[in-house]
Structure 1
């Protein structure tokens, strides 16, 4: 961080700094959310409810692939940064070579193992509950398994090119990829009528372009950490430590995969494939909200961390307080849209499918009624991490999982499918109130000039 940035963080008004950091962060997340939602709209309107259900059922396994990519990418980026900071550039090249070799190995192993066990995996996901859903899930999952190399590869490119000091380049690459994905979805799904396989093909084609571009970059003179073919030799001793640095990212994605699997399983236990499709509509809508709030929280992070390190209690309190107010405003706005216009949202995905519109309307209103509490959890967890209160931040991450599993088991026994939709909001209300009380305590201490627990852990 240069001297001008430090001076700005110390002297500029908090609200000025807040929007300077938050707006680009939210904008980046909105691009991701936009093409994610457009994917769902194309699939729902032009393929059908069974295709939405198929994506939702297959997605836990896709999340595990993403988790492997996140583990490799985060571990490699962290290790390379540490080695470069220590002036050990040759070892940093070894870490980059290890990353490429591990990705190549997984790109071979994942389809070999996954395709050979495809029927077992589909049965495990309960996709064989509905023949139409099974057919689409088989097509989608087999393609995504074959494309594991580029799914993991594009994640590594995003992490490592940014890590190499080219954040603007990778941001533009991701933005162009996002809009290309939308255009290809239109061509493959709507024009050519390739169904869910077309949507998967569009995603994999864009991921291939990003992966290949990243590879070319690291072999080019533009890379600060440039490698050559002769560098592509495994360094076995450093692989475990590199992967260990990213293991938490794998666990996070595995946790999401398990929770999605649990929702899908219970929906099929107490309902049918159309209920999974309705839940998918709610999930796409929820994803937009989560990305918005995540962008807000990530934008706040540098401000909170700097104020914590500089022991600027008043600026820390102002940033945290303002961030929570903005989060609440966004949450209440989206909650009002969901509760007053659920049919409009459902129609975006369902087209003329009246049965899906009705079930998705109900899923949206029930599954998303606790958005303000969800917002408090997301902002709270990231804010507590930014303030070095990592133990307290675990209340939001671990607490949600520990409570949601029994909630998904017991509540549907009384309320059936509605109970599956309501399990997460009930848990979010409880965890959100706990996180809010923790943040309120910290704000009170900071505003009254008392020493915060923040300073006792740094």
Structure 2
């Protein structure tokens, strides 16, 4: 075990949880917020230079991109949890083997997705309801082709940031994320704003930025600065870690698959009860929601090393303290985001408009209705990640599946009574129910950790 790894483990065992929480959470949240900002800027470039049909095209294609994000989340969360638990138990060799195993899995998934997806892209566009030959379909096809071709970079960027953060370098993880974000903004400006390449340019810019992050992250793990340093002569994956990584990361995959399915269901209902403008308005709400969701996800990711290590080291008091810190910050962020969306919806929607007042009006209403339950939505996200980090995957899986079980009927029934507004209100209704249920689960978990800590004392 290296001196760096010993120091990191000693810090996780001895430093005050409040200090460790902010050490990991602030860089993680900052990195995710930067990612959210460049996603928003992507939307701004598309809205201004491609128009409402460009926003609609991204919404149509994005369920397939979210499948890739789900696989990346599965690998990232599964590997991060496995590595943290192995290190908490003092098994440095097992942690290094898990790192190599997840890189092998990344290569396998990264080759399989374009090998199957690119020859079947027209079939996929048909599933996504992009069946005509209008401008929306043209832009959706161009965007999806590039994102399928570069799937390994989309998944790899997520994985590298997780692994670097788990290696005791949250600042470096944030720096990599920020660099990727800034590079993506610059490339979008050049490719979409100046060269007029439309959504193909947006996808190419994103993939180049992700590729730079992946390359720099791999350089780090082969350097002397890495705690889990890799050497060319000792690249031996731990095959026994493959199944635990996939199992521990499955709730993250299912969470993203749920989001992909729900995005598809929203698109279907928006076409039925609205029109292309409604789909563009949903993209406006989605970009804005992504900023909040990524900030909350960053908070949850920042908690993960603390919770995973405390679980592996059997330190219930420290696990409880990290959990409570995360929940408090989550609720504060949720309340602030809700206030901003309710007070300034038209101002936010105008960021994505090429001057169309109709898009501003539709986007403002979508923001006000669709994002009503952000604090409780954030609570569910943080709760699921916390349960995964403590290897309680069944509970996390139950909450994730419950979202789909409740939302699909809500999307089908509410529009019958409320029309298009019913589509906007289905998600916040379900988020409120799941958030309250998660609050009960976390309350019991905190009480159980407190009892364990008292017994140990």
TM-score w.r.t. length of structure 2: 0.82
**What residue number does 2:116 align with?**
113
Are the aligned partners of 2:323 and 2:386 in contact in 1 as well (CA < 8 Å)?
no
Q: Could you tell me how far apart the structure 2 residues matched to 1:323 and 1:455 are?
A: 21
Residues 1:225 and 2:229 are matched in the alignment:
yes
Q: Which residue of 2 aligns with 1:39?
A: 42
Q: Deviations over 1:271-315 (max 9, x none)?
A: 2222111011111111122223333445556677889955549x9
Q: Distance in 1 between matches of 2:214 and 2:30?
A: 23
What is the CA–CA distance in structure 2 between the aligned matches of 1:240 and 1:433, rounded to whole Å?
32
2:419 pairs with one of 392, 408, 416: 416
State the alpha-carbon separation in 2 of the partners of residues 422 and 277 from structure 1.
Answer: 17
State the shift of 1:8 in Å.
3.6
Task: Deviation per CA, 1:177-215: give whole Å up to 9, x if none.
Answer: 111111111111111111111111110111222233344
Q: Which residue, 347, 357, 361 being the options, matches 2:360? A: 357
- 1:64, 1:211 → 2: CA distance? 19
Residue 9 of structure 1 is matched in structure 2 by: 16
Give the corresponding residue for 1:203: 206
- Alignment CA distance shift 1:155-1:374 (3 Å): closer
Q: 1:151 pairs with 137, 150, 154, which one?
A: 154
Contact 1:374–1:429 (Cα < 8 Å) also in 2: yes
What is the CA RMSD across the aligned residues, in angstroms? Answer: 3.9
- Aligned ranges for residues 43-442 of structure 1 at < 5 Å? 43-75=46-78, 86=91, 88=93, 92=96, 99-100=102-103, 102-128=105-131, 131-164=134-167, 166-218=169-221, 224-228=228-232, 243-299=246-302, 310=315, 312=317, 316=320, 320=324, 324-382=327-385, 393=396, 396-439=399-442
Question: Taking structure 1 as reference, are residues 235 and 402 closer, same or farther at Cα in structure 2, changes over 3 Å only?
Answer: same
State the SS of the aligned residue for 2:352: helix
- Structure 1 gap ranges (5+): none
Distance of 2:34 and 2:280 partners within structure 1: 24
Distance 1:433 1:387 in 2: 21
Closer, same or farther: CA 138–275 of 1 in aligned 2, 3 Å: same
Q: Which range moves more in the overlay, 196-205 or 165-174?
A: 165-174
**Gap runs ≥5 in structure 2:** 1-7
Measure how far apart 1:108 and its partner are: 3.9
- In 1, Cα distance between equivalents of 2:282 and 2:103: 37
- Give distance in 1, aligned partners of 2:272 and 2:25: 42
The change in CA–CA distance for 1:67 and 1:235 in structure 2 (over 3 A counts) is: same
Query: Quick one: distance in 1 between partners of 2:329 and 2:162?
Result: 29
Q: Distance in 1 between matches of 2:247 and 2:309?
A: 27
Count the aligned residue pairs: 444
Query: Structure 1's 426 and 245: CA in aligned 2 closer, same or farther, altered over 3 A?
Result: closer
Aligned residues of 1:98 and 1:232 also touching (Cα < 8 A): no
Q: Which moved more, 1:352-361 or 1:408-417?
A: 408-417
Residues 324-379 of structure 1 show CA distances to partners (whole Å, capped at 9, x for unaligned) of 55444433332222122111000001130112111111111110122232233334
In structure 2, what is the Cα distance between the partners aligned to 1:100 and 1:304?
A: 23
CA gap of 1:176–1:216, structure 2 versus 1, over 3 A, is same
The answer on whether the counterparts of 1:442 and 1:453 sit within 8 Å (CA) in structure 2 is no
